[in-house]
Amino acid sequence: MYRSHTCGELRLAHVNNEVTLAGWVQKTRDKGFMVWVDLRDRYGITQLIFDEERTPAHIFEKAGELGREFVIQVTGKVIERESKNKNIPTGEVEILVSGLTILNSANLPPFTIEDETDGGEDIRMKYRYLDIRRTPVKNSLMFRHKVAMEVRNYLSEKEFIEVETPYLIKSTPEGARDFVVPSRMNEGEFYALPQSPQTFKQLLMVGGMDKYFQIVKCFRDEDLRADRQPEFTQIDCEMAFVEQEDILNVFEGLTRHLLQAIKGVEVDQFPRMTFDEAMRRYGNDKPDIRFGMEFGELNEVAQHKDFNVFNNAELVVGIAVPCGASYTRKEIDELINWVKRPQVGALGMVYVKYNEDGSYKSSVDKFYDAEDFEKWAEITGATPGDLICVLSGNKNKVRTQLSALRMELAERLGLRNSDEFAPLWVVDFPLLEWDEETGRYHAMHHPFTSPKPEDLNLLETNPGKVRANAYDLVLNGNEIGGGSIRIHDKELQSKMFSLLGFTKEQAQAQFGFLMNAFQYGAPPHGGLAFGFDRLVAILGGQETIRDFIAFPKNNAGRDVMIDAPSPIDDEQLEELHIKLDLK
Amino acid sequence: MYRSHTCGELRLAHVNNEVTLAGWVQKTRDKGFMVWVDLRDRYGITQLIFDEERTPAHIFEKAGELGREFVIQVTGKVIERESKNKNIPTGEVEILVSGLTILNSANLPPFTIEDETDGGEDIRMKYRYLDIRRTPVKNSLMFRHKVAMEVRNYLSEKEFIEVETPYLIKSTPEGARDFVVPSRMNEGEFYALPQSPQTFKQLLMVGGMDKYFQIVKCFRDEDLRADRQPEFTQIDCEMAFVEQEDILNVFEGLTRHLLQAIKGVEVDQFPRMTFDEAMRRYGNDKPDIRFGMEFGELNEVAQHKDFNVFNNAELVVGIAVPCGASYTRKEIDELINWVKRPQVGALGMVYVKYNEDGSYKSSVDKFYDAEDFEKWAEITGATPGDLICVLSGNKNKVRTQLSALRMELAERLGLRNSDEFAPLWVVDFPLLEWDEETGRYHAMHHPFTSPKPEDLNLLETNPGKVRANAYDLVLNGNEIGGGSIRIHDKELQSKMFSLLGFTKEQAQAQFGFLMNAFQYGAPPHGGLAFGFDRLVAILGGQETIRDFIAFPKNNAGRDVMIDAPSPIDDEQLEELHIKLDLK
């Protein structure tokens, strides 16, 4: 036994006990006749005291050799501290050390192992094993475990069965790019790593499993955007004999349970909003509804005056910025420049100060009068003291731009409070989206999503208008889950593949196993997948997802600590019958 | 709502309720004026009745169209059955159907969806989604889920944290062959899929995580032996500040909990046996101790007579087969042929019948008398009525041969009762094993296993004699877990790599990240990994592991259902800068 107690365990009640602790030296203070050491393990920190008078001489001497992050084992008596530390649970006691073993020495760490560290991200990733010793990172990993346990226990109690689906599957060039894995046993052939267990969970429904879930790694061989990982974790769920309403209820229940169990937050029934409404009110299919600043469409009241910018625009839309009327000219110019940045892409911005005294001052005073602005204020919900920001142009573009501005302002105004949780369902997504580049329709969700029955007749005549039985779960401006009712009819599935530009042969080659399965009695079914990394990060307080992953990869897809990926040797290549062909 | 109740839910108390059920047609019986249908879902089977007099005519007519495995939804009244079926929980009631919707039709399945099916393994794998509808397979998957939940909840309660380790790692040509994954973002470089999270869990210990576990997929690109999968699941565990004794206690606790919670079986403290003892008593490092037939070494009493086969043998060893004295000559010949099969490889077998009357009859009566045989009987524990089977030759070979015979006879004699559970720890494994082929030592466990401190001095002088702090958990003749105390000292780890034939540069290139980590304060640590597939199978009653895997691969590593692996297209290859070079 290396220890009788952990470093987070001892209290006043243990005074006079002989104990053995083991852990890392957090820091030492040497006053010559006395040495204090903070000993740290996963469970906490306990103060050790080496006293020239009371500690055996050879032990006292060794105490002087201890450096940061040395691994030691000590025995001693628990005594009451003279100056108590109220900040830590063990702060009322210390250990008067009588025995010391150095279990391992340590080089000076390349950054300080403290809550606030001096190490930049690169160095912390390279020495991730040291980073994990820091309380915030350690707590993030423990938090992730706790969320996973809550998910599993909740779903298990609701009769969901966790079924492991395979990682070595068949490559299907649908959606993002697959990672492929050459097979030695079957030469010239490749497995793929799953982008999601989508088809397998559907097969489980055909197999009568009824309620399935899995917390599972998925893989996408894509150029990484910031805070995306080539391997990511999903809570994958599927149910049979359900309609959309059943699924929303079950997973609203799960989400509510998590908020309650993990954060102690009680949330009312989640609002539901159609995709169209979300776009109209927030310019965004994953609106953050913790705050207002809803869009006001101004076409009717701002067009047909002499301002041609608006007259020629498909959409004129504004938001009211709380207390923005007090912004200086310089501040407003900065906002205008912000929306004109290439990442946002607006051509300009019209503003109206709705002053506290009820007067208006705007950049378009030439074209509009107070009566006009009164209508603008009414539509955007502005009250005296607010600033109305207005963008115009192509409907889709301008919504995206104004949504970006809305989020930016909310961030600046401190309206995105990470302790507040505002979930909602966005429903009735379009089934298809037109892709200019390829000149064909793509599945907005995936090709297994079922159209709304009432829109089925539009499939031939106006596919772009067909709405899907698809839904996203949005939390604080993030899509944390998404899913759909699936097609369970072979004919409809064939039609979908053909709409998406697959020939019959292609569809059969790639998804034949699923369509074959549909011939043998497929039940109505649907499901949802949560982005577990994102969910954990939001529940944990909006940190980047990387903080909640033990060994993350950087934006180039590299694990800098273990140097992966890396070249493999010629022998391995030869065994795989592979030649590299680098240009 | 597709259903008000499941097909396993209705009882006498529900009589007169109006209910809606959905599921698959298990079978129909049509008597002309009445049609019975067994409706099946995951939860059970409920009998439906369509009655010419009481069921609306158009519904009654449709009932005649229902084929096996059609997916239907029915509404009707719960009524008491006239002839009750005591074999199923819903057997006292049936549904008098008043409404019927065919949700999906079904082709005739290629095998019967019954507990006992007419489908061979190949066809069942090809249509695995139909196989899963069969109660035994469905139950196996649910059982697996239950075991996983018990493991997670038990370990979680013991303060273990489940941490996800990466799947895209660095290839290390140690142990079995890695599956490799070409990286598009980093051309010419490859990830590997982990054979186990070994190094990552050690880094987590260096990171202070203290108690780690993970139920995790692992991968080995090996030619498959029967009932082995290229991807398999492991319960992976590691603890810091522990000695071997601590680890054995914790995981003995877990195993005892599983036996109790899952099987209702209480087991005493697990016996411990050294590797040497296991080899001596059972010829096997994973002995099945549910039955006796222990080895008796006969060198002292059987050598130095005139029987040169024995005189020239390194080991003469026998077992007593209960009641085997009654075997006919033909039966004994069959046994002799059995041990001479190439898979066993014995050159012959000597037998002694210890007759009920106390007399002996043997194949070596020419060389030995009753007094000799009395000693043999004493050493092998034979009693009158038994048959003593004796093999001789090279020690290691003959032990393996006799162990195979012991297991075969136990199987034939019905001594391997799958309801009985006899776990034990095998400890003190050799650290290294000599490999004739490469002419060097290999790590018996893996290169991170620590030698026993008392054997450290042998590392230089007699490496083959060094015992490791390594242990296996054996259950009913299967290794279900194995692990070791790890090396946590950089110097010793370097020495190990050098003993195993690594140059300093090779060791640094492959395991530098781990040895670097050891410089920053590595705690003493150790762990264990359970073969989850095997554990589940044994707890579930000794079936093959394949039955407990939703979508298994066949012995050629193929998923016949989805046709994986399969060729990928030229575009994908080009993007990966890969050319195939098939001979």
In whole angstroms, give the CA distance from residue B352 to residue B388: 5
CA distances from B331 to B334, B354, B378, B578 (A): 5, 16, 24, 59
DSSP run (H or E) holding A387: strand A387-393
- B229 annotated as a binding-site residue: yes
Is residue A543 predicted with pLDDT exceeding 70?
no
The one-character DSSP state at A325 is G
Is the pLDDT score of B55 beyond 80?
yes
Contacts of residue A241, defined as CB under 8 A and 6 or more positions apart, other chains included, come to A210, A523, A524, A525, B2, B3, B22, B23, B41, B73
Q: Which fold is adopted by the domain A136-264+533-575?
A: BirA Bifunctional Protein; domain 2 (3.30.930)
Q: Where do the DSSP E strands lie in B355-487?
A: 360-362, 387-393, 423-427, 432-435, 440-443, 470-475, 478-485
CATH code for the domain defined by A423-528: 3.30.930.10
Q: What is the pLDDT of residue B224?
A: 65
Residue A252 to chain B, least CA–CA distance (Å): 17
Q: What is d(CA B443, CA B433) in angstroms, rounded to the nearest whole number?
A: 6
Tell the burial category of A296 from Cβ atoms under 10 Å away from its Cβ (0-12, 13-18, 19+): buried
Q: What is the per-residue pLDDT for A120?
A: 87
A560, B165 Cβ separation under 8 angstroms:
no
pLDDT band of A121, cuts 50, 70, 90: confident
CA distance B371 to B350: 17
Segment (H or E) for B570 = helix B570-575
Across the range A450-455, mean pLDDT stands at: 94
Question: What pLDDT, on a 0 to 100 scale, did the predictor assign at position A173?
Answer: 67
**Banded pLDDT at A174 (limits 50, 70, 90):** low
pLDDT(B326) > 90: yes
pLDDT in tens, B426-465: 999 999 988 888 888 888 888 899 999 999 999 889 999 9
Q: Count Cβ–Cβ pairs < 8 Å, chain A vs chain B.
A: 370
Chain B contact present for A148, CB below 8 A: yes
Instruction: Tell me which residue in B138, B184, B565 faces A191 most closely, judged by beta carbons.
Output: B565
B136-269+531-575 sits in which CATH class? Answer: alpha beta
* Burial state string for A85-97 with b = 16 or more CB within 10 A and e = fewer than 16: eeeeebbbbbbeb
Q: Which residue has the higher pLDDT, B144 or B224?
A: B144
CA distance B125 to B120: 9
Alpha-carbon torsion (A95, A101, A104, A107), positive or negative = positive
Least CB–CB distance from B167: residue in A128, A148, A217: A217
Domain ranges of chain B: 12-104, 136-269+531-575, 291-412, 423-528
Mean pLDDT lowest for which of A3-12, A224-233, A258-267? Answer: A224-233
Q: Is B213 on the interface with A (CB under 8 A)?
A: no
pLDDT band at residue B176 under the 50/70/90 scheme: confident
What number is the average pLDDT over the span B164-184? 88
Predicted confidence at residue B439, as pLDDT, reads 84
Please list every residue in chain B whose beta carbon sits closer than 8 Å to the beta carbon of residue A556. Answer: 185-186
Enumerate residues 6+ apart whose C-beta is below 8 A from B368.
B302, B305, B307, B362
* Beta carbons of B217 and A167 less than 8 Å apart: yes
Residue A227, by phi and psi: left (phi above 0), alpha (psi -120 to 50) or beta?
Answer: left
The pLDDT of residue A135 is above 90? yes
**Two tokens at A399?**
């919504």
Place of tokens 């907005």: A444
Q: Is B242 on the interface with A (CB under 8 A)?
A: yes
ipTM of this predicted structure:
0.95
B163 touches chain A (CB under 8 A): yes
Residues of A in contact with B74 (CB under 8 A): none
The pLDDT value given to residue B175: 65
pLDDT band, very low/low/confident/very high, at A412 (cuts 50, 70, 90): very high
pLDDT confidence bin for A2, thresholds 50/70/90: very high
Kindly tell me if the per-residue pLDDT of A333 is higher than 90: yes
Distances (CA, A) of B551 to A189, A389, B75, B157, B229: 19, 56, 34, 31, 11
Q: How far is CA B7 from CA A210, B22, B77, B109, in A?
A: 12, 8, 14, 21
Tokens describing residue A199: 């088809």
What is the 3-class SS of A291-317, one letter each residue?
Answer: CCCCCEECHHHHCCCCCHHHHCCCEEE
Q: Is any Cβ of chain A less than 8 angstroms from the Cβ of B176?
A: no
**What local confidence, expressed as pLDDT, does residue A8 receive?**
97
Res A312 pLDDT > 70: yes
- Are A181 and B193 within 8 A, CB to CB? yes
Lowest mean pLDDT among A107-121, A223-237, A423-437, B136-150: A223-237
| Residue of chain A minimizing CA distance to B40 | A208
pLDDT at residue A18 tops 90: yes
Second-level CATH architecture of B12-104:
Beta Barrel (2.40)
| Cα–Cα distance, A76 to A20 (Å, whole number) | 7
Q: Taking Cα atoms as reference points, which of A535, A514, A536 lies closest to residue A525?
A: A514
Residue B396 vs residues B313, B401, B474: alpha-carbon distances, Å: 12, 9, 20
- What are the DSSP E strand ranges found in A230-275? 231-240, 272-274
Residue B511 has pLDDT above 90, yes or no: no
Chain B: nearest CA to A430, how far in angstroms?
24
Specify the fold of B291-412. Gyrase A; domain 2 (3.30.1360)
Is it the case that residue B312 has pLDDT exceeding 80?
A: yes
A277-292 per-position pLDDT tens digit: 999 999 999 999 999 9
Strands (E), B495-536: 525-531
Q: Do domains A12-104 and A423-528 have the same CATH topology?
A: no
Alpha-carbon dihedral sign for residues B292, B293, B298, B302: positive
Closest Cβ–Cβ partner in A132, A145, A177 for B184: A177
Q: Does the pLDDT at position A67 exceed 90?
A: yes
Instruction: Provide the whole-model pTM.
Output: 0.95
- Asked if A30 and A64 count as a contact pair (C-beta separation under 8 A), the reply is yes
% of chain A with per-residue pLDDT over 70: 98
Chain B interface test: which of A168, A555, A579 (most B C-beta within 10 Å) = A168
What values do phi and psi take at B31, rounded to 5? -105, 15
Instruction: Taking each helix axis as running N to C, give the angle between helix A532-539 and helix A244-263, from 0 to 180 degrees, rounded to the nearest 10.
Output: 40
The residue among B363, B417, B355, B350 whose CA lies nearest residue B382 is B355
CB-CB contact of A338 with A408 (8 Å): yes
Q: What is the residue-averaged pLDDT of chain A? A: 94
Residue B543's pLDDT band (boundaries 50, 70, 90)? low
HSE toward the beta carbon, residue B150, CA cutoff 13 A:
21
- Checking if the pLDDT of A224 tops 70, the result is no
Segment B101-112 mean pLDDT: 96
In chain A, residues 476-535 whose CB comes closer than 8 Å to chain B = 488-489, 513, 517-524
The verdict on a CB contact (< 8 Å) between B579 and A576 is no
Mean pLDDT of B28-36: 94
Coil, helix or strand at residue B573: helix
Under 8 Å between Cβ of A24 and A43: no
Q: Which of A86, A74, A77 is nearest to A41 (CA)?
A: A74
Instruction: Give residues 432 to 451 of B whose Cβ lies within 8 Å of A.
Output: none
Instruction: Report the alpha-carbon angle B143-B145-B150, nearest 5.
Output: 95
In B152-174, which positions are buried (b, 16+ CB within 10 angstroms) versus exposed (e)?
A: bbbbbeeebbbbbbbbbbbbbeb
User: How many beta carbons lie within 10 A of that of residue A466, not counting itself?
Assistant: 21
The answer to whether B3 contacts chain A (CB < 8 Å) is yes
B19 touches chain A (CB under 8 A): no
The confidence band for A444, taking pLDDT boundaries of 50, 70 and 90, is: confident
Q: How far apart are CA B479 and CA B528, in angstroms?
A: 12
Summarize the confidence of residues B119-129 as an average pLDDT: 91
3-state helix, strand, coil in chain B (%, to 5): 30, 25, 40
Residue position matching structure tokens 């002087």: A64
List the single range of A468-472, B218-222, B352-356 with lowest mean pLDDT: B218-222
